[in-house]
A and B are shown apart, each in its own frame.
Chain A
């Protein structure tokens, strides 16, 4: 803890010792303006990953103005007071680096990877574009077309189209109702002034976490961060409407009808937020159902019934309660209703505790190894650290799991899960009243054909 003497950074004590190789040697500090900094010295790799996270995503938007978080992400490459248009990319390019950004429900993040002898350009760029992005009207107009094209790619993707409808149906009030890219009509109506106002609301040190992982000297880095970011004001608190999705009472069903050679279905169940005690048994359920060829949905649907080309289960960590979903792509000649029924049979088996200890152990090892195999690069580690620092920050998350330290307790929480807990979580969440069922099909229903002929 010698660093505190060398920088103006306010030291936050790490109260709990690191248990994950990802959190080993991670150091957290908070500048007086509220900017959170996570640094990790990694030897043996000549690169540095820098990623800045803003706790703002489509979750913070309002109906009628959806897609702003993502659009703003695009605008942050269009120039600042210091870097003119194209210069951020050019600097990255000349230095042989890579940069990109991503926006999702809960956050927006910008990253750079550079060789370690030249990585500090990333810090300078992020410090400049946190407050000094210029919003030239002509840049806004052409970038709007780019974002609309990105949205159209999603509309042309069958899974994206189905996923969007299922979320929009499952969430009638909470902002997870709309996709991160927004609704096309909202995008068309967006103005440069809207974007600037949104930027001024959220892009401040208090909403940001800066993560630096790689071949660095921590003390020098913290000093440099202080020099570049320290004088930026804390900024406004930036409140969002706090919308709680009411409990779903009864199954919801929907159809996406479009020309398609294969039919698909996706079933979403409301499921708890990051760090919730029930989230860990549901992670195991996800793995039992769909990780690998020995998983239940694969064995039942792909190998057994031979009714689908692929089947999957997905459950991601989010700030607010989200969806646990299962999905399948059908082989021609099989009926959506039959595949749906078979999927429910597999879900029912979980509820009755028809689960072997070997399956549970396998799921635990899969969760452990995917974290190791997915963390070889400094950037991958920086993403995990920043993501959980951003989404697992609420008071409801137990203190020893809060922020990036979520990664410390993740494996032990997963390892402690029992068969009874998996069955109990399945009985609580994976039930008919709590689900939204979406079909994607080119078929016209019999009744409609009749009406069509009569017309």
Chain B
């Protein structure tokens, strides 16, 4: 194949970055192909800032942003956006919180006004706080009905022990029930501040006009003094193997194997991205784990591995996943462990490297098709200091990776001897299959 001679599309984004006097960073990108706009505003705050006994606070605060403001009820907020056919979501997750609005571009100003109101004037009515806590306690129960989520939660508790990341961002029933309106208000007052806010707007906009209206709407938002985060405890990678079996009456066993991963800013990120593509993260069945465990052995519909996709401000996780019939449990576990060991022991071939590089460079262009994707990229670039010319440099970052680089980072960041294995399904505490009565 002469594919490597083909041109690699290098998306070029026209980005304007403006920092307001209060520290708010504004990122703008025009795209007039569809009459829509995506307004993604995030703050660098999340559940990594909350203590264990307040688990769920950041997520609750983020979700309650649209529960009322000093001038509007929750229903009025929803009506305002929805009457224009828009979509509004507010959230608080592990490392960021915020407001995402998608609208027809003729309603852009409306989207900005609502965003400003929620970020500056949220009022957290007492009844809405209690109502949402109640609902979340029920949602935590419902998580036990989704075996892959249950397995993932159990895995995180082990692998991220000692760091705030061990908790699900939604928190636990006990901690949620103890939260009060004052907790929410205090978290909001402390951490929702312009100097930790990034606002990305992509779509059918006029940059100059939008910049003026944002300066007007957000200029009066004042810096606070306490938005700096507490010291975040880091998890350490385990030095011994750990196994955990969780009983659930299900048709499948859900298996997650892995350990602590890497930060997004790690310079080995790109070599590990190549490793991911070779071991278990390509779409289709070209990478090793899906090809061997699904396409050749027929063990699963879903099986994959990755270390880079969870890399963030704090180290993420290296995971290999498979969902399979209970009778395949042993084969599936040894299959995943075998592929993890093999890539560490034997490394990769030059052909595998080239294939992965072609895929990564050729598919990059698909990350910039939608306004929401462009807005998300702008936030990612700002968060990790990637630079807005990153799309043009990406191909070189990937092409610069060598076989030796991949083999070195695989040995450094993947440890087949000290893995956590979590199994959720019809198993007992020793991992033996239990048949339904």
Contact = CB atoms under 8 A, between A and B. Distances in A.
Interface in A117-155: 117-118, 141-150, 152-153, 155
B294 A146 contact: yes
A373 B362 contact: no
A45 B34 contact: no
Interface string B93-106: 00000000011100
Interface size on B, as a range, is 35 or more
B87 interface: yes
B6 A118 contact: yes
Interface string A274-299: 00000000000000000111110001
Interface stretch (A10-18, A95-103, A186-194, A199-207): A95-103
B130 to A, nearest CB: 9
B79 interface: yes
Contacts of A306: 131, 134-135
Given A329-B142, A372-B34, A156 B134 contact: no
Given A86-B285, A141-B298, A96 B142 contact: no
A256 interface: no
B85 interface: yes
A293 B82 contact: yes
Interface secondary structure of B, over-half rule: mixed
Contacts of B3: 94-95, 118
A370 B87 CA distance: 9
Interface size on A, as a range, is 35 or more
A372 B286 contact: no
A172 interface: no
Interface in A312-366: 329-332, 358, 361-362, 365-366
Contacts of A302: 135
Contact of A261 (B144, B325, B355): B144
A230 to B, nearest CB: 27
A188 B149 CA distance: 28
**Of listed A88, A99, A260, A361, residue having the most chain B CB within 10 A:** A260
Contact of B82 (A144, A362, A378): A362
A156 B147 contact: yes
Contact of B33 (A45, A115, A260): A45
Interface in B408-433: none
A258 B249 contact: yes
A306 B82 CA distance: 22
A292 B298 contact: no
A46 B362 contact: no
A226 interface: no
B145 A369 contact: no
B102 A373 contact: yes
Nearest to B83: A362
B362 A95 contact: yes
Contact of B300 (A113, A118, A141, A149): A149
Contacts of A93: 282-284, 286, 355, 358-359
Contacts of B252: 149, 152-153, 156
Ranked 3 nearest A-B pairs via Cβ: A96-B362, A369-B85, A89-B284
27 contacts: A21-B35, A45-B369, A86-B286, A93-B284, A95-B362, A96-B359, A96-B361, A99-B284, A118-B3, A142-B297, A146-B294, A148-B325, A149-B299, A152-B251, A153-B323, A156-B250, A262-B141, A292-B87, A306-B131, A329-B142, A365-B83, A369-B84, A369-B87, A372-B36, A375-B34, A376-B369, A377-B369
